[in-house]
Chains A and B, each alone.
Chain A
Amino acid sequence: MQKSDVDIRSLQIGFGGLKVLENLNLHIAKSEFLVLLGPSGCGKSTLLNAIAGLIDVKGGEIHIGGRDVTGAEPKDRGIAMVFQSYALYPRMSVRRNMSFGLTVAGTPRDEIERRVGEAAQMLRLTGLLDRRPSELSGGQRQRVAIGRALVRHAGVYLFDEPLSNLDAQLRAELRVEIKRLHARLGATMIYVTHDQIEALTLADRIAVMQGGVIQQLDTPKKIYREPVNRFVASFVGSPAMNFIPGRITRDSGVEFIAGKSRLSLNGYAFCGQPADAPAVLGIRPEHIELTASDDPSSVSARVEMVEPMGADTLIWCRLADGTAFSFRHDADAHVRVGDTLTVRFPADALSLFDETSGQRL
């Protein structure tokens, strides 16, 4: 099996007058697992279909494995694809579903048998090969769909929300299975999802998309810790990042002022020179720490709601000036509604965004 890289150069796609993708550039390395993450309608499927050759491209080029495939048929691109709705052929057995593409391509019979057997074993489908898709459970159907892609021995695998029709437990199971497959095959994979857990667990790199534009392309850790703008910050992470409006001052060291509270920004890695200006502070619920009340950079807040979440507890608080935020704490915390807590926002875990542009500062 030959692994390929994918290079997308100033890609443009539109439907009638609607421009879905405009001047999109993206390079996916050999053996990389790239996740396209974004809200509904942002153009993820469109991009994936374009790579597969299933929709027409208005402008730009797509190269797979160093070959310009912009005008090539899907079957000639060295790709395989798994669809959200499984798209299994209903009147064929599991075996025929998996072998159909190979039969069409004229692969020798024993080679087909070998590949189907191999894929079936990898996906634990061996006992189901003679069933029809209608006689399978949702998880089994999705595994057949993955198997149909695997037998193609493609250089690039494309997944369009393959797990979104499954329940939470199956989703978690198959997620692990896909991750294992990637480790085993070492193939290039492009995976569309709007489930951020899938994105964070599977990806080597994540491309966060909005409105047809890639907002940030980076490792899951970077995306999580250092979102480049407020959209990425709010889209990734659950429970969501807290946003506190205020301003940055440089009177006595760089500080963030929200109402009457002052936070030292000593230790925050600014992208450029900090300026005195309105800004929005973002902090993830798990980065907020309880602290002693004599800590100079602490703020006090009233507890409004307590949500036990099993492993930990989500505590909703309000600052004196009325700003609400949530933070995570051990499940055994003895916190009650109405308590007053003193918390600390560690400067190295913060994100600061420009108030108007939303860009990271």
Chain B
Amino acid sequence: MTAAAQFLPAARRSKRMNPARWGLYAFIFITALYFLLPLYVMVVTSLKPMAEIRQGNLLALPMSPSVDAWVKAWTSACTGLTCQGIRIGFFNSVRILVPSVAISILVGSLTGYALSLWRVRGANILFGAMMVVAFIPYQLFIYPLVRVFSFAGLGQSLLTIVIIHTIFGLPTMTLLFRNYFASLPVELFKAARVDGAGFYQIYARIMMPMATPMVVVAVILQTTGIWNDFILGLVFAGRDNLPMTVQLNNIVNSTQGERAYNVDMAATLLTALLPLAVYFGSGRWFVRGIAAGAVKG
């Protein structure tokens, strides 16, 4: 409730609870419950031993909480033929994530910067069209892309999946940065030209330092998008580089005998940890970045 109060203007508001306010809080409470309940169930289940889970008391707190399931999920759960836990997938995902995020932001900001200088009539319509393209379901492109990559001799590899993520991130990244750079006064660019800076110097020394909020937004968008990806990783990464999401699926679906709910839950939570951390850690930056894009620099 204090968090909600922060968004109210500084001017004094009536602190009395009127019916509308009750309704609002009830709505917020129910919504929060709706989203938090599954998370709660997952956390408590992951901390229970199987004996306790079998009693079927879904909402009960664990009587003897233990992190055994977490350890097992991390180090020894079976993901198909090997049984080394989900950590393999975690490190695969990190190896895919870091270069993909870095390269897609680098390329996207550079193309966005170049396009922001291109101020012709109809440019906005063109970029609107680009945004639409960004929303075409990418399943449509998978088969052609598989052909293109095998033709180019790249096949399935870490490099392939990084290129794929860069390509699919490009429209969004380009537009994000183009719109930000286009909102800056042209005179800034002119001043830098008079100072003798070239295209890349202006990009690196003036434009990018100003675009920090945009970079944060881009990192959040790309990190969560790439981390959560399943199908592209499955198709393009190759056997040795399968991302965490794919490994998680293998753990959950390849159990023999009794289903180890606690391990499944722990593995799922481990997989969700990074996007969760990103959201919690950067929510404020995210809002600030969006706002910085909306007003003139």
Residues of A within 8 A of B (CB): 49, 52, 54, 73-75, 79-81, 83-85, 87-92, 100-101, 104-105, 148, 152
In the complex, whether B60 has a CB less than 8 A from a CB of chain A is no
B206 engages A81 (CB within 8 Å): no
A91 engages B210 (CB within 8 Å): yes
Q: Which of B163-205 contact A (CB under 8 A)?
A: 185, 187-188, 190-197, 201, 205
Could you list 21 examples of A-B contacts with CB < 8 Å? A49-B190, A52-B194, A54-B190, A73-B196, A74-B190, A74-B193, A79-B194, A80-B194, A81-B191, A83-B187, A85-B185, A85-B187, A87-B185, A87-B187, A90-B210, A91-B210, A100-B195, A100-B197, A101-B194, A104-B197, A148-B195
Give the residues in chain B near A84, CB-CB below 8 Å.
187
Distance, CA A152 to CA B210, complexed state (A): 24
In the complex, whether B144 has a CB less than 8 A from a CB of chain A is no
Distance, CA A49 to CA B187, complexed state (A): 10
Query: Chain A nearest CB: distance from B175 CB in Å?
Result: 22
Tell whether A104 pairs with B196 under 8 Å between CB atoms, given A85-B185, A89-B206. Answer: yes
Distance, CA A105 to CA B196, complexed state (A): 7
Give the residues in chain A near B195, CB-CB below 8 Å.
75, 100-101, 104, 148, 152
Query: Chain B nearest CB: distance from A14 CB in Å?
Result: 15
A87 engages B209 (CB within 8 Å): no
Q: Which of A73, A79, A87 contacts B191 (CB 8 A)?
A: A87
Query: Chain A nearest CB: distance from B52 CB in Å?
Result: 56
Give the residues in chain B near A74, CB-CB below 8 Å.
190, 193-194, 196
In the complex, whether B297 has a CB less than 8 A from a CB of chain A is yes
Query: Chain B nearest CB: distance from A66 CB in Å?
Result: 21
Please report whether the interface of chain B is mostly helix, strand, loop or mixed according to DSSP.
Answer: helix
Distance, CA A89 to CA B185, complexed state (A): 11
Give the residues in chain B near A152, CB-CB below 8 Å.
195
Given contacts A75-B196, A81-B190, 11 further A-B contacts (CB under 8 A): A74-B194, A75-B194, A75-B195, A83-B191, A87-B191, A89-B192, A91-B206, A91-B209, A100-B195, A101-B195, A101-B197
Distance, CA A87 to CA B185, complexed state (A): 8
Distance, CA A52 to CA B209, complexed state (A): 26
Query: Chain B nearest CB: distance from A78 CB in Å?
Result: 11
Give the residues in chain A near B196, CB-CB below 8 Å.
73-75, 101, 104-105
Distance, CA A88 to CA B210, complexed state (A): 12
CB closest chain-B residue, reference A75: B196
Query: Chain A nearest CB: distance from B223 CB in Å?
Result: 24
CB closest chain-A residue, reference B193: A74
Give the residues in chain A near B210, CB-CB below 8 Å.
90-91
B194 engages A81 (CB within 8 Å): yes
A89 engages B188 (CB within 8 Å): yes
Query: Chain A nearest CB: distance from B193 CB in Å?
Result: 5
Q: Which of B243-297 contact A (CB under 8 A)?
A: 297
CB closest chain-A residue, reference B120: A16
Distance, CA A91 to CA B188, complexed state (A): 12
Query: Chain B nearest CB: distance from A108 CB in Å?
Result: 16
Give the residues in chain B near A75, CB-CB below 8 Å.
193-196
CB closest chain-B residue, reference A86: B187
Give the residues in chain A near B190, CB-CB below 8 Å.
49, 52, 54, 74, 81, 83, 87
Give the residues in chain A near B191, CB-CB below 8 Å.
81, 83, 87-89, 148
Query: Chain B nearest CB: distance from A13 CB in Å?
Result: 16
Query: Chain B nearest CB: distance from A94 CB in Å?
Result: 14
CB closest chain-A residue, reference B212: A91
B297 engages A104 (CB within 8 Å): no
Distance, CA A75 to CA B198, complexed state (A): 10
CB closest chain-A residue, reference B190: A54
Give the residues in chain B near A89, CB-CB below 8 Å.
188, 191-192, 206
